[in-house]
Chains A and B, each alone.
Chain A
Amino acid sequence: MNEPLTKYLANQGKAIDEIKTKKLPIKEGLDKVEKHHIQGKQNSDFEIPLCLACHDFITARQNSLSVEERKNKELMALKSVIGLNELVCQHLREIMQVKKEELEHDKQDSN
């Protein structure tokens, strides 16, 4: 593989990672509440209110299942829970990052 191509592919990978780890626009969706169908079925009674951004995130996770898999309600429900946990983890990670940065700042200040 020639040099420009290798460089380009590396850059492409970076850009893709950036999109994947992009922060969610939670603030924009907070005021809009959606009823999320846990099992991915319309009109089912199993629904929980979620903010729009979270609903979007979890629905996208559910939609990543294949058509066959989507027919299985339990699998869909599990995907919902996994999605929600991923969100929580993501935010905890963010909080941790902020805390770490604060600690480092404090350290630098004390030095």
Chain B
Amino acid sequence: MTSKIAIRSYTKEANKKEKPIFSIKEELLEHKRLLIFDTETTDDSFQNLKFGSFIVIDDGKEIMKAIFYSPENVLSNEEIILKQYCKGNNLCLFTTKDFVERVFYPEMIEAQALCIGFNLPFDLSRLTINFGEGRYSHKGWFSIQISENKFNPRIKIKHIDSTMSFISFGRNSRNFRGHFLDLKTLASIFSDNKHISLKKAGEFFGCNALKGEAEEHGKITPQYIQYNLQDVNATYELYLKILEHYKMYGIKAPITKVYSSATLGKYALKQMGIQSLSRINTKVNAKVKGQLMSAYFGGRCEVKIKKTPIEISALDFLSMYPSLTIIMGLWEFIIAKDIREENVTKEIIIFLQNLKLEDLRNKESWKSFNVLVELEPDEDILPVRSNYLENSDVLNVGINYLKYNGSLFYALPDVIASVLLTGRIPKIKRATRFIPTGKQDTLQKTNILGIEIDPHKDNFIKLLIEKRQEFKQQRDKFSKDSEDYKKLEGIQGALKILANSTTYGIFIEVRTKENNSEIIVYSKDEFFAKQKAEEEGKFFNPLIAVMQVAGARLLMAMCERYLQDRNSTHAYMDTDACYVPSNFAFELRDFFKPLNPYSFEADFFKIEKESMLFYGISSKRYVLYKLQDGKIIITDYKAHGLGHLLNPYNKGVEWQKQIWEDILKWHYKIITQLDIIEKYSNLYAISKLDVSTPLLYKRFKSFNKNKPLKEQIKPFNFFLVGQKNKKDIKPMIPYSSNAQESVFKPFIDYKSGKILQGLEYWKNLADTIIEYVNHPESKFLNCSQNGKLERRHLKDGEIIVIGKETKNIEEQPIEVAKVTVYKSEKDSMKKILSMTSKEAKQKKVSKSTLWEMKERLKKDPKNFNWKTKAVKKLLN
């Protein structure tokens, strides 16, 4: 099998008008009128609305507090309880229909109130009377109807990830999209916790009214009503606290538009009057952007010593990406009026010839590393994105020996890393240096987080990190319980979020469009295609992103070379952290000291943990522990690959830690594989997900067919999903609180949509653990062996041009979304026309089909259908 070498690309739609970067229509910055609501549902799989409560706030005053209920889902005695409770507490009681018609729409559309909730998509979808997938620009969104009145617009919801959704009204005569705010999004940004609950968020922001504990869910009692009302109050208080925290940032973005920390970063840059790369008159055109993108690879992550306990110390670079932005002088590119190119091929070759590890400790030299190198790899150690395992579509980035008969683009730091590790200079064809010139005219002074910033003079990133250090020092003067400590802790946290969000993600942000269009794909080469375009983000600048990540890899390579010179090696590496044998920790810390870019005294490569035992299986699957009196004491573990599974035991049991303990015991031969099988074979690997996209919803079509709405699985309902087993079946089942018992019930197969039943279709936890332990570190040659792993030698692979890489596997336990592979129609045409019947037969396409295909291609290549099964077989 020839291996694939995948490189990223930059796409541009052939006929596209330029849009303004930020919408001209200014959104409201402050909301006077608020509608806050929360719902309670039945405790079964269908999660139908039972009742809910809401409050309307006008200018800080509570105007209305009331309860609404769904008469269809409430028992007669429960209805009496609700009525009595409302009478006793002087509260209004609405039916859901009344709430929607008399409160929700008048408030939301006419009075333009802000609708607030915690996990708002779930609550809104409880009000549904009909739903489906959106059309046109809302393709991929849920379209939810909550009112029978056709003049009331539908609600459109698009799920992005577990904390982030877009919510708006559909088409309406006022052309008004509504104001919606999901507090879960903001709480997760500011607390840096993706799985935050209302209670935890309340605690984090120091709210007085915390979410209560219900004794029993799904049955209406006065206590349960009280619990729901308390939830609404807790949500309102949380909103006020979050608003206060957000105002502290001093960023003038509407709160409803803050979807992630990247939004904060983008608005901070906007506030400083910084223009994006596409807006400044620069030589970095689409072609150069494509070449830069082809040199883009993610951070380096690898287990070098596999399944062999080794004593290590964990070292970590101080704010890696912000620091590299300063060291490599990348801030100048962000504020530059123009970016110049210079051919520096000779200079770079001479530089590489005289390169010594010691020279790289001079931080001034790093400013001249913003160079893109075109080279012909010949057994050079370079980052390669490839499907390392046979019959696998998963692309991984590994630092391996590469030989390729043609030229590829790499950032200079990657080339330096190769020279450090091989001692040879690659065959360089051309090296282009990027030089920032001038400063943008639009730059303006601003105040963010109470800090005066003048982008003409200040390096924003440096200022943020240095201020953070100051606040940290001030904070430590106070006791942990004092108000001052909390305040300063909040500010330093905010500075950290802002520094990280303005230094990395926003420069490589692209959004894949839903529909195909005619595009030009720029990468190593350029070609036309009719596929999904990738729209660049507001501050897309591949130059910065490519150099930062390459710089990070160079730091890692320096660390590797340092140990190599001393006949040692690292055990594990991940982007900004390196686990090295303990005896080298202090030497390495001192070695990197001169690279500290800040004015304060600090270790640039700081020791985080000392003298621990490390046991690693593959990237992000490792454990740190100690052995004391023959006992295993786990201090830190990563649960990548297990994190998405539900706790099979009772709440509060650290089950992942327990699994790691058993894996270690198995390694030390305290227990055997049989013990693991015995312990875990009665438990099943099950994940809990929600029906977050129309595509997922379609899988429940066979389940929902001919059933009333009450008995249907609706958008944002929870469901359980098992792991794919040997029978290639992925069981899906509506949610029930006792997940482990669901395996005995009939389920839907994810792939076929058929309803099946049987324990044999569910993967048990024992199999999952054994598979987990045997997971190969695919980027290495001896990936399944224990001990020190060796690099692969990749030769003459086939180049494929890809789009945005897929998300973390943890976030997609249902199906690993495939990356878009851009194919040139011209090349595909040539491939088909030159194909012989023998070759076609090997790909299971008959001679006659091939002949017909060729005829069609010759006659009318423009209207040729590239999506038929036979064409796909031939081209793959």
Seen from chain A, the residues whose Cβ lies within 8 Å of a Cβ on chain B are: 2, 4-5, 8-9, 11-12, 15-16, 18-19, 25, 28, 32, 52, 56, 59-60, 63-64
Cβ contacts under 8 Å, B25 to chain A:
56
Alpha-carbon distance A52/B64, docked complex (angstroms): 37
Q: How far is the CB of A103 from chain B (nearest CB, A)?
A: 31
Residue of B nearest to A4 (CB): B92
Alpha-carbon distance A64/B151, docked complex (angstroms): 12
Decide: A19 and B110 in contact? CB cutoff 8 A.
Answer: yes
Q: List 25 A-B contacts (CB under 8 A).
A: A2-B92, A4-B64, A4-B91, A4-B92, A5-B92, A8-B63, A8-B92, A9-B102, A12-B103, A12-B107, A12-B110, A12-B111, A15-B111, A16-B106, A16-B111, A18-B111, A25-B26, A28-B26, A59-B175, A60-B174, A63-B173, A63-B174, A63-B175, A64-B173, A64-B174
Cβ contacts under 8 Å, B91 to chain A:
4
Interface string of B78-114 (1 = CB under 8 A from A): 0000000000001110000000001100110011110
Cβ contacts under 8 Å, A8 to chain B:
56, 63-64, 92
A52 and B111 in contact, given A5-B92, A8-B63, A12-B106 (Cβ under 8 angstroms)? no
Alpha-carbon distance A19/B176, docked complex (angstroms): 13
Cβ contacts under 8 Å, A32 to chain B:
24
Decide: B24 and A19 in contact? CB cutoff 8 A.
Answer: no
Decide: B90 and A4 in contact? CB cutoff 8 A.
Answer: yes
Cβ contacts under 8 Å, B90 to chain A:
4
Cβ contacts under 8 Å, B107 to chain A:
12, 15
Seen from chain B, the residues whose Cβ lies within 8 Å of a Cβ on chain A are: 24-26, 33, 56, 58, 63-64, 66, 90-92, 102-103, 106-107, 110-113, 173-175
Cβ contacts under 8 Å, A25 to chain B:
26
Residue of A nearest to B20 (CB): A32
Decide: B175 and A11 in contact? CB cutoff 8 A.
Answer: no
Cβ contacts under 8 Å, A19 to chain B:
110-112
Cβ contacts under 8 Å, B66 to chain A:
4
Alpha-carbon distance A99/B854, docked complex (angstroms): 81
Within 8 Å by CB of A52, from B24, B56, B102, lies: B24
Alpha-carbon distance A60/B107, docked complex (angstroms): 20
Cβ contacts under 8 Å, B112 to chain A:
19
Decide: B24 and A15 in contact? CB cutoff 8 A.
Answer: no
Residue of A nearest to B33 (CB): A15
For the complex with contacts A8-B64, A18-B111, 4 further pairs of A-B residues with Cβ separation under 8 Å are A2-B92, A8-B56, A59-B175, A64-B174
Alpha-carbon distance A2/B107, docked complex (angstroms): 20
Alpha-carbon distance A64/B175, docked complex (angstroms): 9
Q: How far is the CB of A28 from chain B (nearest CB, A)?
A: 6
Cβ contacts under 8 Å, A28 to chain B:
26
Cβ contacts under 8 Å, B64 to chain A:
4, 8, 11
Alpha-carbon distance A11/B91, docked complex (angstroms): 17
Most buried by B among A4, A9, A32, A56: A4
Q: How far is the CB of B110 from chain A (nearest CB, A)?
A: 4
Q: How far is the CB of B180 from chain A (nearest CB, A)?
A: 17
Alpha-carbon distance A4/B90, docked complex (angstroms): 8
Decide: B58 and A15 in contact? CB cutoff 8 A.
Answer: yes
Alpha-carbon distance A9/B64, docked complex (angstroms): 9
Cβ contacts under 8 Å, A9 to chain B:
102
Cβ contacts under 8 Å, A16 to chain B:
106, 110-111
Cβ contacts under 8 Å, B63 to chain A:
8, 11
Residue of B nearest to A64 (CB): B173
Alpha-carbon distance A87/B26, docked complex (angstroms): 20
Cβ contacts under 8 Å, A64 to chain B:
173-174
Alpha-carbon distance A32/B112, docked complex (angstroms): 25
Within 8 Å by CB of B58, from A4, A11, A59, A63, lies: A11
Residue of B nearest to A3 (CB): B90
Q: How far is the CB of B682 from chain A (nearest CB, A)?
A: 55
Residue of A nearest to B171 (CB): A63
Q: How far is the CB of A21 from chain B (nearest CB, A)?
A: 13
Alpha-carbon distance A9/B94, docked complex (angstroms): 13
Residue of A nearest to B65 (CB): A4
Residue of A nearest to B106 (CB): A12
Cβ contacts under 8 Å, B175 to chain A:
59-60, 63
Q: How far is the CB of A71 from chain B (nearest CB, A)?
A: 16
Alpha-carbon distance A18/B32, docked complex (angstroms): 12
Closest 8 interchain pairs by CB? A15-B111, A8-B64, A16-B110, A16-B111, A11-B63, A64-B173, A5-B92, A19-B112
Alpha-carbon distance A21/B382, docked complex (angstroms): 65
Residue of A nearest to B63 (CB): A11
